């Protein structure tokens, strides 16, 4: 039987070090499931594993794309499953690690299939959003998929403020002529592996301290310089993320560098809360304190195999 050891949890909790320790033990390879680490122009700000870590174990889907490429969660699902099929030819175990809940779910459960959308529709929606803001997207979704809009209003209101997600909903509605929700919860693809789900957690103040330390390290490693290099392309979707947006505001002379750094820390803490909320919904995840010895994880994995 093939198993996919899946390690999830909030940012800066120690997922990378655990995944490498387990990969060393099982002599297997790692599939990265961090939607920001795909992009080679965003090395420091996405906390990509260091050179020594990458040299120790073969990693996949780290800095394998450019910010100038269009890359969706559906694309990742197809490529990740193809890579797993390849890895399982020689090994019964692979490791999936990351904090991007949507991407983890896409690998484990399959992703809803949507029709191809004409790029001109996407471009027009983006142009209208630039002119009219998030209200334009909200109004369109309410009109084109009333039930889904109402569901989000009640269950997930923050999504209504997310321009990338909202643009996707509206483009599917306009491009297909059908409500976005009509494509949800269709029959998922079967998987040829059994997941073993591990979550890392800690007291909130510990997570926040670790985030603050990580941001300080990123700045010392040259995050400002990295952000300056991609600043001319700041409107790209890949760069609409914590760590870059705040520095772009500094480069736009809207805020001081010190304030930008504090905003990165604050927004990363908020992001970590959303990560935990997402993963805690999955009752199949076994949660461990971030300081748990590797031997305990190995015992748990052997029991599940």
> Which residues belong to the annotated binding site for ATP?
9-16
Beta strand spans in 9-127 (E): 30-32, 59-60, 93-97
For residue 178, give the DSSP letter. S
Q: What are phi and psi of 199, to 5 degrees?
A: -115, 140
Q: Residue 245 has which token pair?
A: 């947006």
Residues contacting residue 276 through CB under 8 Å, at least 6 positions apart: 9, 10, 201
Summarize the annotated binding site as residue ranges: 9-16
Q: Which two tokens stand for residue 172?
A: 């599917």
What are the backbone dihedrals phi and psi of residue 97, each rounded to the nearest 5 degrees, phi first? -140, 135
129: which 2 tokens? 């959003």
Report the binding-site residues for substrate.
11-16
Q: Which residues of 243-258 are buried (b: 16+ CB within 10 A; e: fewer)?
A: bbbbbbbbbeeebeee
């Amino acid at each position: 039987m093939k198993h996919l050891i899946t390690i999830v949890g909030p940012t800066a909790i120690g997922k990378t070090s655990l995944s490498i320790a387990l990969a060393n033990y099982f002599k297997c390879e790692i599939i990265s499931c961090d939607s920001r680490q795909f992009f080679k122009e965003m090395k420091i700000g996405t906390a990509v594993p260091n050179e020594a870590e990458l040299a120790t174990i073969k990693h996949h889907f780290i800095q394998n794309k450019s910010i100038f490429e269009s890359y969706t969660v559906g694309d990742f699902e197809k490529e990740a499953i193809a890579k797993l099929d390849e890895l399982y030819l020689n090994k019964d175990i692979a490791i999936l690690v990351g904090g991007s809940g949507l991407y983890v779910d896409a690998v484990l459960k399959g992703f809803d299939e949507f029709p191809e959308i004409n790029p001109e529709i996407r471009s027009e929606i983006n142009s209208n959003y630039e002119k009219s803001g998030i209200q334009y997207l909200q109004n369109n979704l309410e009109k084109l998929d009333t039930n889904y809009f109402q569901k989000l209003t009640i269950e997930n209101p923050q999504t209504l403020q997310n321009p990338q997600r909202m643009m996707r909903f509206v483009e599917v509605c306009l491009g297909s002529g059908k409500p976005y929700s009509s494509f949800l919860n269709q029959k998922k693809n079967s998987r040829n592996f059994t997941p073993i789900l591990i979550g890392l957690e800690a007291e909130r103040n510990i997570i926040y301290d670790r985030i603050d330390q990580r941001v300080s390290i990123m700045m010392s490693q040259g995050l400002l310089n990295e952000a300056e290099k991609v600043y001319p392309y700041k409107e790209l979707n890949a760069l609409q993320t914590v760590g870059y947006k705040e520095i772009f505001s500094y480069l736009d002379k809207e805020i001081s560098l010190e304030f930008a750094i504090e905003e990165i820390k604050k927004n990363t803490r908020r992001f970590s809360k959303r990560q935990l909320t997402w993963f805690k919904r999955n009752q199949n995840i076994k949660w461990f304190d971030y300081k748990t010895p590797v031997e305990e994880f190995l015992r748990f994995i052997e029991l599940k195999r």
